Each structure stands twice: as structure tokens, then as C-alpha cells.
A and B are shown apart, each in its own frame.
Chain A
Amino acid sequence: MEANPFLDPLRFERRVPPCAIVIFGANGDLTKRKLIPALYRLAYERRMPSGYVIFGNSRTAMSDAEYRQKMKAAVQEFLEDSPFDAALWEQFEQSLFYLPGDIKNPEYYSVLAARLKEQDERTGGNVLFYLSTQPSHYEPIVGGLGQAGLSRGAGWRRVVIEKPFGHDLASAHALNQKLQAVFPESSIYRIDHYLGKETVQNVLAVRFANGIFEPLWNRRYINNVQITAAESIGVEGRGGYYQESGALRDMIQNHLLQVMATIAMEPSAVYEPNAVRDERAKLLRSVRILKEEEVAGLAVAGQYGSGRIGGREMPGFRQEEGVDPKAQTDTYAAVTFFVDNWRWAGVPFYVRTGKRMPKRVTDIAIQFNAAPLPLFERDNTAGNHHLARPNLLIIRIQPEEGISLRFLSKNPGEGMKLRPVSMDFNYGSSFGVRTPTAYETLLQDALAGDATLYTRQDMVEASWAVVQPILDYWASQRFLFPNYEAGTWGPKASDDMLATRGHRWRIP
């Protein structure tokens, strides 16, 4: 086909073609909190196509009007940093329909196919299926779509699936095979909302659009990297789900390994979906797979007990609703990863995540090697005081997005006394506009067919391969949980893990 000669990518907004969006799990939390508010916001910014229609599915019987009312309330409650425009909602809800039915019943897909067909003129036959259900429903839905011939049509067909992509390497592989039996890999969009965060995307801009960082971005200058994703909340009513997954599966296997890949990957030759994803996948394949005997020294599991936060007594994990009082679930996980390639050989990547920690924060700290001589120390033979204050480049992902560089500076006044100072870049002070939420970015990308920020089969399986030995080892252990108090930065064993290399966790 001849290319469109009238395009001007420098100036034209990216267009999303007309399409239908089918949300499975349309009555669920994710749809209410994230998906519908994101679609509404895209409509608010006129980023939705001229012809679009949204079908919501779940088992609950509801009319279109009831569903619209429910979603309106959700948008009003969960829309982030944006006013609710009642007139726009009236327009938006005209494209919102509810199609209840049992996803295990093949007849449901015939009904769906007929409804989609009715909309072909409006949507050009393009359909995005969004699986916002529990993972056990992925297979029946994808199978049902395949049997009803919905994976192919007049336009494009894409399927977005939410994590978890399996619960271990074998199940992830099996799920991938099931998905690929119906949809080609290029039509499967595995969503990892961390990759949709502006600040995570900005890591690539900082690294590859500036000349000053990349020469230092290697084992010669970087001493270690710390990635922290701390949550102050507990399991918030999701105890039943959480005790089956745990922190390693819930956060590190997907989000944090993707963040680590973004920090450590090589530059791609071009900024195109598969080129970028090839580099992320290559990095993930370079992460050293731990041997069973290494796991105890390089990975720490934790579970919070009760504790006081801000004067309030917080229950321990085992006291949370729906949680087994003897649960062995990790609500905290810390792992030392190594990347076995020329750039990173020997540099530890410390990755930690936990619930009921002192505050909600996600950041990446790149710790540089210290100056070779402690020139300004009064006693430069012992203590090496300044070594405790190495240069740090901190990329803050949430809540206060920005970048800081810590370095030593002379204290004003007599003598050569040094103290660390911080040079800060704050997103808010350079970009006054609202930052789109990760779901806005990712939904728009999926509708436009841009998979750069979505994970691919090989990336998912590579990251499972990395955590699998840790999961296996932990499953064979009986931990003395709880091992950290609610409101603290995790178990002592985690500090000890870093101390073996002379490092310590920074306090974010």
C-alpha cells in the first residue's frame, strides 16, 4: 500500500482510529478507578477518535442506564487532577454500553459479535478487547473470542491483558501459548502500568537525550543501584488475593524488573516499539539467574507485624481480613540482582518493595563511586567520612516526580568542611501542565497500535525466569514471620544483605 504523503509527524497529533473497546470485568475496581476515568479524560482532551464505542461486560445484570450512572459516579470520584465536565459526560456516555453475560458461555460471544458488527460502520471494524478480570478468566475469554471469530475482522483486533501474566514461569509460558493460539503476538498488549508513568518514560529521555549521563552509566563509575517501591498501606481488603501472590510476584517480577531494565538497558538504534522492547528483553535475559544456594544471601522475604503509624495501631498482615493467621506470604521482598554484561558486571542492583512501610514512595537511586582520595577529610586514614556520602542521582517516580543529584560542597566559612547538597529538578516547576495518568498513556498507545510501553512474551518469561529460583527457594522455607513492624523500612535481614557488600539502604 502506498504511504500517505500528507503526513507531518512533527506537527500532527497522533490519531487514534475509530474503534470499539470491549472491557471484560467492567464492573470491577480497575475499570472504575482507572479505565473509565482514563477513557473519559482522553475524550476530555479530544484524543478519542471521532467514532468510538465502549462495551462493558460482567455477570451482574444491569441496564445501560444503570451502568452509565455507576461509571459516572466512578469518574467523579476517581478522576485525577482534573475537573468533571457534566456536559462532556453526557456526550461520552452515549458511546458507553453494558453487555452482561457469562464469559464461559459461547453464546455470549455470538451476541457480542453481533453488537460489534452493528457498529462496524462507526468503528471500521477495529476492536480493542481489554481483559480487566481475574487472571483465571483470561483463558475462557480469549478462547471464546477465538471461537466466535472475534480475533479477526474487518479492522484490527487487539487484546490488552493485565498482570499477573501467570504465577510462575511455567504458567506464564502456558498463558502465552493460549493467547498466541488466538491472537498474534503483535496484537497482544500486556500492560505494566509502571511503564506508562511519565517519569519511567523520562528515564529513557534522561539517559539517551543527554550527553552527560551515558558516559558514566556503567560499572566504572556506578557503585550500586537501589530501586525502592514502598507503600504505606497494607493489603486494604485484598488479603485473600495478596496472600497467594506476595511482594515478589506482585511488584518485583513485573513492575520493578521493567523499571530496572529501563535503567540498565542499552540504547536502541531507533525509538520504535520492537527496537526498544528488544533492548529491554536483552537486559532481562542478562540478569543473573540465582542458584538455589545463593538465594538466602541475595534475597530477603519479610512480612509486617502490627505496629503504630502516626499514633494509630496497625494490624499485622496475619491479622488482616481474609488472611490465613499462619500465612507465609512475603509482604516485603528485597533482592540483589546482577546483570551479567560488560556494562554492568559486578554492580549490584538492589530492588525492594514492601507494604506498611513509613511512606509511599517509588524511586531509583544511582550511587556513584566515591572520589579516589579523601582529600578534604581531616583524618584521611580512617573513617573515610565522605565515602558515606557518595554522589547520588535520584530519579523520583512517585509521589513528587523529579530528579536530584547529590554532591558534596564546601560549607560556607572557614576551613574545608564539606556537606552534601542536592540539585533538584522538579517536574512541577518545569512543566506546569497536568501529567497524564499511566492508563491514559497506555490506553491511547494501544488504540494507536504503539506497543513500546507494553511487555512482550519474551520479556515476561525472562522476568519470571529471574524470580523463579527465589520463589522456589522461599516455598521450601518456613519463615519466622512477622519480621518487621508496620511503619518501618523492612526486616533487618534486608539491611544485612547490603551490609555484606559495605552498602546500606538509603532512606527515600
Chain B
Amino acid sequence: MAAVVSPEGILKELSALWVSLGKQEDSGVLRACAMTLIMATGEEEDAAEAGLTLAELIHEHPSRAIVLRVVTSAEPVLESRVLAQCWMPFGKRQQICCEQIEITASPATLPGVQRILGALVAPDLPVMLVCRSPRLFGLPKFQKLLAMANKVVADSHGSPEPWGVMQRVADMRANGRDVADLAWTRLTPLRQEIGAAFDEPGAIARLPLISRAVIAHPPGPMPPEALYLTAWLHHSLGRELPVSFQPEAGSDPITRVDLIGEQVLFSFRPPFSRAGCELLREELSISGRDSVYDSVLAGALALA
């Protein structure tokens, strides 16, 4: 049986929390908020990890953070609690705190959650919704929640049907929505590495000689990153480049890219792997049109 969760109740709890924080600290605390950041997690995800990711993110993107955990339960579930995430910036004497609300719901109570969130978002500030669960991203009852957000961040990597997630991202973007796919974000360090190599005038001169590419990824189904990367190479070079895919052990979704031609070989590996919070940090820093991604997404779907 679901408990009664009212937005007014949560807001009152938040007020009381701030009063108590103010009393605990001699110099008071600085309440920071530049957006509402909703982190929706499915049961398959670790809610504690989501909390840790948020704790990392709020340093750079102070927000009213809402962790929405959607559990599969025959019974209707609806619970909430509030807490504060505080940190002391190095060399400062005042703590900075962000408020965090945790809501646990089941599919049956999701329509009600949308109304609760509607009352809880920080007024006049952007709403960002992170939904890395492909199941939730595709759940019909979840669509109204997605519609609340100014930006939605999904992740096609790890989905049994990554092309389906990518297609949904493309459809939403075609309707003017700002939707990102972390599978694309994951490629930034590798793409930057490739870009840096062609800063050299000598390398640029050899670009026309490149006639094919090899993209290596860990054994198993082809990750969406491979398609994104292929589409990006086509987009950047302005021509179709024959690409072959090779299995290769490694922890990154793409382990190596070779650009090959007559007497030419450029080989790249990802310079480093990034944690979830670093991927989100990149996406939260970008708002508005990303024309490179639009072209690459269309190209990747055409390849799929």
C-alpha cells in the first residue's frame, strides 16, 4: 500500500532541513541551486551509485536533486525522504549544501509522481532528467516525466536494443527536444584524440590517403558507440569510408580505431575511461543545439 506523499509535505521537510542546517553551523550554510536534476533509476541500477554520482555532480552543477527509483512491484509503492548533500570547498569556511529528495515509486504510482515532481522542481530553473535505464526510457507511463525536462540524458549502451533507444532519441530530437545519449558522450576523449592528431599540418595532408578504417570493440554484440564513431568519421571526412569491426579485449566500448591508407596508418586508443558522473558533467554543460550530434545520430541510424 502506497504511503501518502504530498509535495507540500516534502517542501515543509526541506524547509525544516534548512533551518536545522543553519542552526548546526556557526557560519551558516550556503544553499546552492542552479537546476533541478532528476536521476531516474530502474531496479536494475544501483540507487546508491546514483546517489554517489549526484554527490559528485552537484559540486559543479548545484541543484535540487531528485532521485526517482522505480521498482517493479505488484503493490503500489510511493515513498519519499529528504536530505542535504553538503561539502566544504577547499580553503572556504562555509559549507555549500544542495537539497536531495528521494522518491521510490512503482509503475502504478508513476502518474502521481509526475504531479509531485511538477510541484517540486525549482521554479524558473532548468530541469535535467537522467534516465540510464532503457526500460524506463521506453516505459509509456514514463513519457510524461520525460516531457517535463528541458534536457533528457539517456544511455543506449547496455540496452538489449540500443538502436531502439537511439531511434527514440532521434524522434524526440526531431520534435525539438534536447535529448542526449551517453553512448555518444563516451566517445569524446577518443574523438578528441583523433582531432588532436590532425592538428598537425603533416597529418592533414595525408588525410586524402585514408581509404578504410578498423574499429575494435570488446567481443559480443556491436556497441552503439561503434556505429556512432563510424557515422562521425563519415561526417567529418565528408565521404563514406569502408569500416570493418574487430573484436578485441578491453574495458572501453571502443578499444582501438585505425585509419588506414596507402603508406598511412593512424592508430588511436581511448586515452582514458570516464566515470558516469564525468559523462553527465559533459552533458549538463551543454544546452541547445548540437549539430554534430544531430548529423552523426542520423548517420548512425542509417547504418543500423
Bound together = yes
Residues of A within 8 A of B (CB): 1-2, 4-8, 10-13, 15, 17, 80-83, 426, 428-434
* Nearest 10 Cβ contacts at the A-B interface: A6-B195, A81-B91, A5-B236, A429-B32, A432-B59, A4-B198, A430-B34, A12-B192, A432-B62, A433-B60
- Contact at B92–A15, with CB atoms within 8 Å? no
Q: Which residue, A10, A15, A432, A434, has most C-beta atoms of chain B within 10 A? A: A432
Chain B residues lying within 8 Å of A82, measured Cβ to Cβ, are 90-91
Known contacts A80-B91, A429-B33, A430-B62; 18 further A-B pairs (Cβ under 8 A): A5-B238, A6-B194, A7-B195, A8-B188, A11-B292, A12-B188, A15-B196, A15-B199, A81-B89, A81-B90, A83-B90, A428-B96, A429-B62, A429-B96, A431-B34, A431-B62, A432-B60, A433-B59
0/1 string, B160-197, CB within 8 A of A gives 1: 00000000000000000000000000001001101110
Q: Judge if B141 is at the interface, Cβ distance under 8 Å.
A: no
Chain B residues lying within 8 Å of A17, measured Cβ to Cβ, are 199
| 10 CB < 8 A contacts A-B | A2-B207, A6-B198, A11-B282, A11-B290, A12-B191, A81-B89, A83-B90, A428-B96, A430-B34, A434-B90
- Contact at B89–A2, with CB atoms within 8 Å? no
0/1 string, B194-211, CB within 8 A of A gives 1: 111011010011010000
Chain B residues lying within 8 Å of A83, measured Cβ to Cβ, are 90
Q: Judge if B264 is at the interface, Cβ distance under 8 Å.
A: no
Chain B residues lying within 8 Å of A8, measured Cβ to Cβ, are 188, 191-192, 195, 292
- Contact at B237–A5, with CB atoms within 8 Å? yes
Q: Judge if B113 is at the interface, Cβ distance under 8 Å.
A: no
How far apart are the CA atoms of A433 and B56 in the complex, in Å?
11
Q: Judge if B31 is at the interface, Cβ distance under 8 Å.
A: yes
Checking A11, A81, A429 against B188 with a beta-carbon cut-off of 8 angstroms, the contacting residue is: A11
How far apart are the CA atoms of A11 and B293 in the complex, in Å?
10
- Contact at B191–A432, with CB atoms within 8 Å? no
- Contact at A1–B191, with CB atoms within 8 Å? no
Chain A: CB-nearest residue to B272: A46
How far apart are the CA atoms of A267 and B238 in the complex, in Å?
35
Q: Judge if B226 is at the interface, Cβ distance under 8 Å.
A: no
Interface residues of B in 134-152 (CB under 8 A from A): none
Main secondary structure of the interface of B (DSSP, over half): mixed
Q: Judge if B286 is at the interface, Cβ distance under 8 Å.
A: yes
Chain A residues lying within 8 Å of B62, measured Cβ to Cβ, are 429-432
Contact count A vs B, C-beta below 8 Å = 85
Known: A2-B204, A432-B58. A81 touches B92 (CB 8 A): yes
Known: A8-B191, A17-B199. A1 touches B204 (CB 8 A): yes
Known: A81-B90, A430-B32, A432-B58. A10 touches B198 (CB 8 A): no
CB distance from B281 to the nearest CB of A (A): 10
Chain A: CB-nearest residue to B197: A6
Residues of B within 8 A of A (CB): 30-34, 58-62, 87, 89-92, 94, 96, 98, 188, 191-192, 194-196, 198-199, 201, 204-205, 207, 236-238, 282, 286, 290, 292
- Contact at A432–B32, with CB atoms within 8 Å? yes
Q: Which residue, A8, A11, A13, A82, has most C-beta atoms of chain B within 10 A? A: A11
Checking B30, B195, B237 against A428 with a beta-carbon cut-off of 8 angstroms, the contacting residue is: B30
Chain B: CB-nearest residue to A50: B196
How far apart are the CA atoms of A235 and B188 in the complex, in Å?
49
Known: A1-B201, A5-B198, A11-B282. A432 touches B89 (CB 8 A): yes
Chain B residues lying within 8 Å of A426, measured Cβ to Cβ, are 30
How far apart are the CA atoms of A355 and B257 in the complex, in Å?
60
Chain A residues lying within 8 Å of B59, measured Cβ to Cβ, are 432-433
Chain B: CB-nearest residue to A426: B30
- Contact at B96–A432, with CB atoms within 8 Å? yes
Known: A82-B91, A83-B90. A6 touches B201 (CB 8 A): no
CB distance from A20 to the nearest CB of B (A): 18
CB distance from B58 to the nearest CB of A (A): 7
How far apart are the CA atoms of A434 and B92 in the complex, in Å?
10
CB distance from B299 to the nearest CB of A (A): 14
- Contact at A4–B195, with CB atoms within 8 Å? yes
- Contact at B89–A10, with CB atoms within 8 Å? no
CB distance from A80 to the nearest CB of B (A): 7
CB distance from A348 to the nearest CB of B (A): 35
How far apart are the CA atoms of A4 and B34 in the complex, in Å?
36
Chain B residues lying within 8 Å of A12, measured Cβ to Cβ, are 188, 191-192, 195
Chain A residues lying within 8 Å of B94, measured Cβ to Cβ, are 428
- Contact at A434–B89, with CB atoms within 8 Å? yes
CB distance from B89 to the nearest CB of A (A): 7
Chain B residues lying within 8 Å of A434, measured Cβ to Cβ, are 89-90
How far apart are the CA atoms of A83 and B143 in the complex, in Å?
44
CB distance from A67 to the nearest CB of B (A): 27
- Contact at B286–A10, with CB atoms within 8 Å? yes
Chain B residues lying within 8 Å of A80, measured Cβ to Cβ, are 91
Chain A residues lying within 8 Å of B290, measured Cβ to Cβ, are 10-11
CB distance from B56 to the nearest CB of A (A): 11
CB distance from A283 to the nearest CB of B (A): 30
Chain A residues lying within 8 Å of B198, measured Cβ to Cβ, are 4-6
- Contact at B192–A4, with CB atoms within 8 Å? no
Chain B residues lying within 8 Å of A81, measured Cβ to Cβ, are 89-92
How far apart are the CA atoms of A434 and B30 in the complex, in Å?
15
CB distance from B181 to the nearest CB of A (A): 13
Q: Which residue, A2, A8, A428, A434, has most C-beta atoms of chain B within 10 A? A: A8
CB distance from B31 to the nearest CB of A (A): 6
CB distance from A77 to the nearest CB of B (A): 13
Chain A residues lying within 8 Å of B90, measured Cβ to Cβ, are 81-83, 434
How far apart are the CA atoms of A432 and B98 in the complex, in Å?
10
Chain A residues lying within 8 Å of B192, measured Cβ to Cβ, are 8, 11-13
How far apart are the CA atoms of A81 and B34 in the complex, in Å?
22
Chain B residues lying within 8 Å of A429, measured Cβ to Cβ, are 30-33, 62, 96
CB distance from B241 to the nearest CB of A (A): 12
Chain B: CB-nearest residue to A9: B292
CB distance from B86 to the nearest CB of A (A): 11
How far apart are the CA atoms of A7 and B205 in the complex, in Å?
16
Chain B residues lying within 8 Å of A2, measured Cβ to Cβ, are 204-205, 207
- Contact at B292–A6, with CB atoms within 8 Å? no
- Contact at B89–A4, with CB atoms within 8 Å? no
Q: Which residue, B62, B98, B286, has most C-beta atoms of chain A within 10 A? A: B62
